[in-house]
Structure 1
Amino acid sequence: MDRQASGRAAEDRALSWLQHQGLHLLERNFRCRLGEIDLIMEDRDCLVFVEVRKRGRTSRVDAASSVDSRKQQKIILTAQYYLSRFPQRANQPCRFDLIALASDSETATPLWYKDAFRP
């Protein structure tokens, strides 16, 4: 499986899992010149920007640690742009979550880091 297909499969798995946790999908792969957000969801009244990461056993950095401060800043800027495009959501509480998946297991429960980082 190529990298793009693998990433799509990871996002599919994360999306399905989050929906089973009660979150509602608003946008998938929101892109702008500043970056991309994998999933934008609602958790009750909270707007949730989700980064999905998948890493193998041989990776030097685990999935959660791979979202460094530079990547966090790109996600935050992209989220701010999203909010500027949808002003009706601008006053909604927001958080940034991370879903970490092990690439060697399709059955392992994803690791969900709620409020993984803040602006």
Structure 2
Amino acid sequence: MAEHNDRGREAEQLAREWLEGKGYVFLAENYRYKHAEIDLIMTHRELLVFVEVKFRTGTGYGYAEEFVDYKKRQLIIRAADHYIYEIDWHRDIRFDIVGVYRDPHGRVAFKHFEDAFY
């Protein structure tokens, strides 16, 4: 597996653990529907939350949320619609972005954008 894929999986695991520490309940990871993938699916306070995780070693090329463009958002929404139908969900949903940042010393920080798009 390519190094960037390994870092992405690690970032997703770190984000999952961090969100669980904030009271989120994990349901699924890497949910795929056609050409779309949702990194994490969780519940929080009776909301179904679809989470896109972005890993960065710095902000020189931009912040995590800037890398979820219109096309990516549409793919996530399409996959979320399928998941909602699949599990017969009838309550509210939300789309979040979690930026996972690792500095040159290996320290990890998170930036959480709740209700980032729809």
Asked if Structure 1 and Structure 2 have the same fold, meaning a TM-score greater than 0.5 normalized by the shorter chain, the answer is yes
Whole-angstrom CA distance in 2 between matches of 1:58 and 1:40: 26
Structure 1 length as normaliser, TM-score? 0.89
Matched residue type, 2:103 = D
Whole-angstrom CA distance in 2 between matches of 1:24 and 1:36: 19
Whole-angstrom CA distance in 1 between matches of 2:35 and 2:60: 27
Over the matched positions of the two proteins, sequence identity in percent amounts to 36
Deviation at 1:70, TM superposition (A): 0.9
User: Structure 1 regions of 5+ residues with no counterpart?
Assistant: none
Secondary structure (helix, strand or coil) at the match of 1:116 reads coil
What is the root-mean-square deviation of aligned Cα atoms in Å? Answer: 1.7
Whole-angstrom CA distance in 2 between matches of 1:63 and 1:112: 10
State the partner residue of 1:42. 43
Matched residue type, 1:51 = E
CA contact (8 A) 1:55 1:103 kept: yes
Deviation at 1:83, TM superposition (A): 1.1
Cα 1:76–1:55 shift into 2, 3 Å: same
How many aligned residue pairs are there? Answer: 116
User: Structure 2 regions of 5+ residues with no counterpart?
Assistant: none
Deviation at 1:98, TM superposition (A): 0.4
